[in-house]
Amino acid sequence: MSGSTPGDPPDDPDDGRDRWDRDDVDDRSSAGEPSKGPNGDGRTDAVTIEDDGVFRWFLKSDAENVVFVRDVVSSIAIVVVIGLILFGVSGVWPPLVAVESGSMEPNMERGDLIFVVDDERFVGDDPVDGTGVVPLENGQDSGHEKFGNEGDVIVFRPNGDPNAVPIIHRAHYWVEEDENWIETKADDAIVGDATCDDVMTCPAPHDGFITKGDANAGYDQFGQRGQIQSDIVRPEWVTGKATFRVPWLGHVRLAFDEIIGGMLAPSPTIDTTPVPIDDLDDPAIQAGLTGSVGVATAGAGVAMAIGRRQH
């Protein structure tokens, strides 16, 4: 028969030990001491800054305000990690753009989120020398297709203006300086009976790309002063190539821009009315110019970048 000394826990495991644990915890808690197990091993039932340090307390604490902050920090960290991974793959910042208008329909819809890569990455067959861009003209021969048609879709700054909203349109042709591209490259169905003398960007003032939105009636460079979306696109104006789209997610970015942008500064007003052309009477030319200006300009630049590109 075993005996017990004063202060020892009772032998009954179902009654005495449980009661001893509860009483001991209550006594120590009321005294402001960390609770200990029956063997005095120093293990605590609660995490405290004093005993565990700030870092472990922040990770292990069950306090509601700490849990909330921890969830926010974790979410931000996940977004940062994903952003760094996307940047590593794409080589450009931002790696995502939100489509603002329908000038690339049906291959891109307003509100799509587009993943963009550096023009020298994931290069298709037969790119223009010195670039990683395959225009539609070359893609028709090599079979290189993106977003439902031959050729790469590029993101570029119109006229090289760093403050302008980027445009996301398909590269159709590469032209060289002084080239009469209306006769050598342009599609007659688009330019009609127009001649080089009728078009502001002809002959080409420099080497570059002729671009066009898939849903637009005219090239971005087809028209007179004040009616073109952009001059012929120099390679250095290209900030990336579109690779794939995620439907609808761009609406989140666009809604954010409308709310925050309107609070910080007035939203720019875009006049979508075509400028009258008095010296061009051909109906085909008028139709081509009106389509180019009316549809593309209504897109306010077509693509809104999430941030500025950085190498």
pLDDT band at 252 (very low <50, low <70, confident <90, very high): confident
> Any idea how long the chain is?
311
d(CA 249, CA 246): 6
Domain residue ranges of the chain, discontinuous segments joined by +: 47-90, 93-305
Least confident stretch, 63-72, 73-82, 187-196, 241-250: 73-82
Secondary structure class of 15 (helix, strand, coil): coil
Residue 277, classed as helix, strand or coil, is coil
Digit-coded pLDDT (tens) for 11-53: 555 554 444 344 444 444 444 444 444 444 444 447 777 777 8
| 198 has pLDDT over 50 | yes
The rounded mean pLDDT for the chain is 74
139-182: pLDDT as tens digits: 999 999 999 999 999 999 999 999 888 999 999 999 999 999 99
- Residue 172's CB is within 10 A of a number of other CB atoms, namely 24
What's the CA gap between 225 and 227, in Å, rounded? 6
pLDDT average, residue stretch 207-234: 90
Write the DSSP symbol of residue 233.
B
| Nearest C-alpha neighbor of 133 from the set 143, 147, 118 | 118
pLDDT of residue 89: 77
pLDDT of res. 292: 35
DSSP H or E stretch at residue 132: none
Burial of 251 (0-12, 13-18, 19+ CB in 10 A): middle
Per-residue tokens: 240: 């990336």
| Cα atoms found within 13 Å of the Cα of residue 109, Cβ hemisphere only | 8
Tokens 């509100």 found at: 111
Which amino acid type is present at position 242?
A
| Average pLDDT of the residues in 69-95 | 80
* Residue 58 neighbours by CB under 8 Å, 6+ apart: 66, 70
* Alpha carbon distance 99, 250 (integer Å): 7
pLDDT confidence band for 84 (50 / 70 / 90): confident
pLDDT at 43: 46
